[in-house]
Amino acid sequence: MLKTIVLVTNTLIVRSEFMEFIQKVGADFSNEDIVYDGQLYDRTGGYLWIKYNPEEELSGSELESRVKSITEKLGSSPQTQILIDIGKNRSSEILAAEFVTLFSRIWSCIIDDDNSILYSVPEFLEEVGWTPRLQGIANGVGDHPGGGGSKPVSITTSNLYPR
């Protein structure tokens, strides 16, 4: 079974802006896949499936309680969600940590895992057991001048590539 995480940001990210971001980090876009917006692979067998703004399956008081918890951790109302299904191996976990790190350089976010545990970016990276190797990585919510939302520029990492 895949592990699923959801990146939650307080920035309203338009779909085209997000698609540009995942293209710059090396996502593969498959016309055959109507569930996901893109996939990321790496040279060590890591694999991620990515979907922009997944539909929330909660309703009523359950939804209200979840939004309240997310808002408290995020520091403001959630605006955009990105679903990431992570492959079953360690390489996929590392790839997810790299993707989260790159995403957080552009947009402030928290991570909601498939056990409904909320993590800041540093907490998530610690949970995965990965330390950013890229200089200038943001340390989580509140570290983004201007509140994020700027367009990605020259985003690279050593082992991401489209298949």
Summarised one tens digit per residue, pLDDT across range 44-64 is 999 999 999 876 655 567 778
Domain count for the chain: 1
Q: What is the pTM of this model?
A: 0.78
Structure tokens at 73: 């951790």
Distance CA 117, CA 12 (A): 22
The boundaries of the domain holding residue 71 are 3-161
Phi–psi pair at 131, nearest 5 degrees: -110, 130
For residue 33, what is the DSSP state? -
Per-residue pLDDT band at 133 (split at 50, 70, 90): low
